[in-house]
Structure 1
Amino acid sequence: MSTTATPATQTAEGGEEYLNSMNFRSLIEWFTAEALLSRPEDPLAFVRTVISEKLAQRNGQGQVVGVMQALNRSGNEKDTGFTDMDEEVMTILAAQAGIAIQNAQNHKTALQAQKKVTEVLDIVKAMHSDLGINSLIFTVTHRIQRLVGSDRCSLYLLDKVTNELWTLQGEVDIRIPSNQGICGAVAESGKLINLKNAYEDARFNKYDQKLGYKTSTILALPLHSHKQDVIGVMQLINKTDGIFTPDDEEILTTFLSIAGPILENSPLFLRAKGTGGENELTGRPVSHGKPVTFDPEMNQIQESDGTEDEE
């Protein structure tokens, strides 16, 4: 009496190994749970509907993330083309592939967000170190510029006594009216401004045309004290890869909520209010009345008479 060998996958051990290797077990368990909740009259039709409408290579927002294609069927049935069973297998595989792709994308996004948070914490840590005024402004603006990916970044502090926005460029104190340009609008309203096209906003100073520089996008955000009073403005110009996004707004708002109280108690803020502070390079008081032409949107000194008042 002859016997026919049973394929390995048809034994109990082989079946277990097959289910685990193909990840069908979790899929079957998931369908079982869905069926128990929905109690369909036709389970097979229910499963097909779930696969085609809810899973097949779509992410959580219902957007297609890819296409799976099979060409030139091989085997004994290659002349008859792909069968209904082939379609069902491909549908299941496409669903699993779509989920895997979306998970990978989510993981990449999470890693990028984690990296940005780490960079923000590093900047905050640097602000607590013993930096001079020039070094503090340089560190904050250049690292934020690199973090977000912008062409320029400026930090202004608000002097409520003179109604001016103040910053430092090299050894020169720069003071502009606090109601001027985009920064002035943010200082007055206490709300961020995100411009996709700066030239479409009447508040924008188009002085950049004279310098051959094209300002396209602007993101300006308020800096608040621990009492939530506006004490300054941070402005970024020209996102390097498109427009400033809600993610940019969120990460900068988070940073400024931490940086505001730190800067409020720093020598930099005391100097912005005109209550002291010497030039960290010369050791002499810096004149606040130095006649310069300054473009607040460009954060550039256009000309200076080269003189400095002595006190």
Structure 2
Amino acid sequence: MDEDSVVQYLRDHPNIIEDYIVSPEISNETFERWSVRRAIKYKKPRKPVPGSSSGVGGAWTDLDLSMKRRVILETSDNRVKTNQSADYTQTIVNAGNQTIGEIHFYTPLGNEEKSIVSAVCTWAAAANYFSELYTHKNEGSDTQDHENIAKQRKLSNFLLDVARSIFFDIVSMDAVIIKVMNFAQKLVNADRASLFLVDSKNKQIYARIFDVGTGDEEYVRVNREGQKEIRFDMSKGIAGYVASTGEGLNIENAYEDERFNADVDSKTGYTTKSILCMPILIRGIIIGVVQMVNKKNGPFTRQDEDEFEIFAVYCGLALHHAKLYDKIRRSEQKYRVALEVLAYHSVCNSDEVNKLKKIEINNRIVELETIDFNGMRLSELEKPLYAVYMFKTLFSDYLQFETDDLIRFVLTVRKNYRRVAYHNWAHGWSVAHAMFATLTNSPDAFSKQEALALYVSCLCHDLDHRGKNNAYMKTMSTPLAAIYSTSVMERHHFNQTVTILQQDGHNILRNLSSEEYKQTLSLIKHCILATDLALFFSNKAKLNVIFDSGEFDINRQEHRLLTQAVMMTGCDLVASAKPWSIQTETVKVIFEEFYDQGDAERLSGKEPIAMMDRNKAHMLPQMQVEFMRGICLPCYELIAKIFPKADKMRERCEYNAKKWDELAAEQKEKQEANRDQKNLD
């Protein structure tokens, strides 16, 4: 098909091109660019303004601010030049054949930067718009001459310079104020210029930028940010009057106006003659006042007033955006401070690292290789020291890592466990030790990569635990529950693990290959999520079916993952397989945490379950029997089927369950005796 036949086909079927143009195939930016080009091309040309560039016509000559902005945007296709090897983007905005401004960004153009470019285009268009309005107003006059044309051209160029210059320093309110004062002074050829901002809440005007030695010291105050500023009541002086009323004043002789405050003149020896004081507005609200003093070649004129009205548009925009930037910058600094504080409190410091580095364990610690080891007797220094030792013992021949990184990782993990009754650093260490003992006694059970994931997962599996379970998180509609729909705390624990690994000097896995690194993180996630007891029941059921069918094969990936999941549960519940003295001591802190949750639930108007209700503490032995026989024993029975050497865990759990049975029976006898005694009474 040739071009003519395509055009004819589209004429005969206009719906096709319409459907295509409004489809997602065409971006909004492309559609708008086409629209502007069409408007420019078919806009009926207006008689050119005398003195205007012949190269700019069509829509650009229309007295329509929005159209001018669109023309600037349309004719600025060549405005972005990006140097990929440099750290900035240079933008040049053109209107027709005239360069309006050159802007430097120190980051690639994103949505915010594009908005800024759009704002500059609007300002540039506004300059031309107001200038042409002023010129258009005088078009009918037969006395218009080249001098007037030159003035308008000069004003237009001046306003474009203002837009370009102010924009460079828009990130600093003080810099913008200085620019505005300098430009205002030049605009009307004044000897001095002052800019006051309005504090409508306190009915005052104030300025941070002022001339030293002008006699204003008695008005100088230090604000909350520690900056010096001058403040005046809005009921005093010319500037106060303009700020209160919004009415601009052009005063030929200041001393003849009763509103003039001559105190400053009397203290400085300066003589104020003429004053031009104009309000600066944004969206109809007075945000500041510019006061110009003593025009150098006579009194201020009506033309000065008109020109400053145009200039005030830029002042308002510049001050408004500078104020926003000031707020953003302060917020950013607060955010950085908060991050620094969080980093300090959540990441170990160099003193802790150096203290641990000085202690070396050269001999094998045999007692650590048994499940019976009592981690409760370890000091706060010994726990991280032994955690480092266990990691080195398991993986020194497999993984290349820096000892400093490993020490930092362990210490930061310790720091990110909260001080709750049970799910704290001591519990995390105990679970990691249980995995260490299991892997040491069954060295061929898993690959080194799997063993690495299992050990790290155990050490980190309850990071940032708040002492409340998943049901509580969901019932109370906590922020974490809003983020994660299932396994709320476990997903948070995994994300905390990744966060620590990403900290500088903490990534003990960094020497793995990219593929190994991904696989290890995936295994860590699988293992940490497996500590959600809600998942244990389905894992147990799947494994029992596999065993009953005689199809279990540790080398099959599905069976291997299920085994790892059950192993994580077994290590998490290891207190139930510890010697009786350790078991009872652990149960006390477990139930103290449970009771804390129950108290919180009761305060919120919810009745806690019996396990969380400290008013039903007498039921603890029986609840432990149910827990041991319903969850712990079935878990260790499965583990013993897979790893016969782990049968001791099942035996110890069985023994502890019987002990709880005895305590439950004793408790029941006491209750019955008390009931019988009450009946006799």
- 1:96-175 mapped onto 2 (5 Å cutoff): 106-131=145-170, 132-169=172-209, 172-175=228-231
**Structure 2: gaps of 5 or more residues:** 1-140, 211-226, 332-681
1:232 aligns with 2:288: yes
Q: Distance in 2 between matches of 1:133 and 1:178?
A: 22
Residue deviations 1:161-199 (CA, integer Å, cap 9, x gap): 122112112662222212210011101111101101000
1:213 aligns with 2:270: yes
Q: Distance in 1 between matches of 2:257 and 2:329?
A: 37
**SS in structure 2 of the partner of residue 115 of structure 1:** helix
Q: Distance in 1 between matches of 2:169 and 2:151?
A: 30
Maintained 8 Å contact 1:179/1:187: no
- 1:255-266 mapped onto 2 (5 Å cutoff): 255-266=311-322
The CA deviation at 1:134 is 2.8
Q: Distance in 1 between matches of 2:267 and 2:183?
A: 28
Q: Which residue of 1 aligns with 2:651?
A: none
Q: Which residue of 1 aligns with 2:247?
A: 191
Q: Distance in 2 between matches of 1:277 and 1:191?
A: 34
The one-letter code matched in structure 2 to 1:108 is E
Q: Which residue of 1 aligns with 2:256?
A: 200
The CA deviation at 1:269 is 9.2
**SS in structure 2 of the partner of residue 219 of structure 1:** strand
Percent of aligned pairs with the same residue?
Answer: 33
The CA deviation at 1:234 is 0.7
Q: Distance in 2 between matches of 1:153 and 1:145?
A: 6
The one-letter code matched in structure 2 to 1:242 is G
Residue deviations 1:45-89 (CA, integer Å, cap 9, x gap): xxxxxxxxxxxxxxxxxxxxxxxxxxxxxxxxxxxxxxxxxxxxx
Q: How many residues end up aligned between the 2 structures?
A: 173
Decide which moves more: 188-197 or 173-182: 173-182
Cα distance change on mapping 1:203 and 1:276 into 2, 3 Å: farther
The CA deviation at 1:265 is 3.2
Q: Which residue of 1 aligns with 2:298?
A: 242
Q: Distance in 2 between matches of 1:277 and 1:215?
A: 38
**SS in structure 1 of the partner of residue 174 of structure 2:** helix
Larger Rg: 2
Q: Distance in 2 between matches of 1:241 and 1:150?
A: 9
* Length-normalised TM-score, structure 2: 0.24
The CA deviation at 1:122 is 1.2
The CA deviation at 1:138 is 1.4
Q: Distance in 1 between matches of 2:256 and 2:329?
A: 40
**SS in structure 1 of the partner of residue 307 of structure 2:** helix
Cα distance change on mapping 1:165 and 1:195 into 2, 3 Å: same
The CA deviation at 1:103 is 8.6
In terms of fraction of residues, the more helix-rich structure is 2
Q: Distance in 1 between matches of 2:206 and 2:267?
A: 23
Q: Distance in 2 between matches of 1:178 and 1:159?
A: 9
Q: Distance in 1 between matches of 2:321 and 2:178?
A: 18
Q: Distance in 1 between matches of 2:166 and 2:294?
A: 25
Q: Distance in 1 between matches of 2:174 and 2:279?
A: 21
**SS in structure 2 of the partner of residue 266 of structure 1:** helix
Q: Distance in 2 between matches of 1:277 and 1:201?
A: 42
Maintained 8 Å contact 2:173/2:322: no
Q: Distance in 2 between matches of 1:134 and 1:248?
A: 25
The CA deviation at 1:104 is 9.6
1:253 aligns with 2:309: yes
Cα distance change on mapping 1:225 and 1:213 into 2, 3 Å: same
Maintained 8 Å contact 2:280/2:316: yes
Decide which moves more: 176-185 or 257-266: 257-266
- 1:47-126 mapped onto 2 (5 Å cutoff): 106-126=145-165
**SS in structure 1 of the partner of residue 145 of structure 2:** helix
Residue deviations 1:193-252 (CA, integer Å, cap 9, x gap): 1101000011101120332211110000111112x0111111100010001101100010
The one-letter code matched in structure 2 to 1:139 is K
Q: Distance in 1 between matches of 2:297 and 2:243?
A: 27
Q: Distance in 2 between matches of 1:209 and 1:156?
A: 21
Q: Distance in 1 between matches of 2:239 and 2:254?
A: 13
Using CA pairs under 8 Å that are at least 6 residues apart, name the structure with larger relative contact order, 1 or 2: 1
Cα distance change on mapping 1:241 and 1:264 into 2, 3 Å: same
How well do the aligned residues superpose, as a CA RMSD in angstroms? 2.7
Q: Distance in 1 between matches of 2:324 and 2:292?
A: 20
Maintained 8 Å contact 2:246/2:279: yes
Q: Distance in 1 between matches of 2:194 and 2:254?
A: 16
Q: Distance in 2 between matches of 1:268 and 1:166?
A: 18
The one-letter code matched in structure 2 to 1:187 is A
**SS in structure 2 of the partner of residue 265 of structure 1:** helix
The one-letter code matched in structure 1 to 2:195 is L
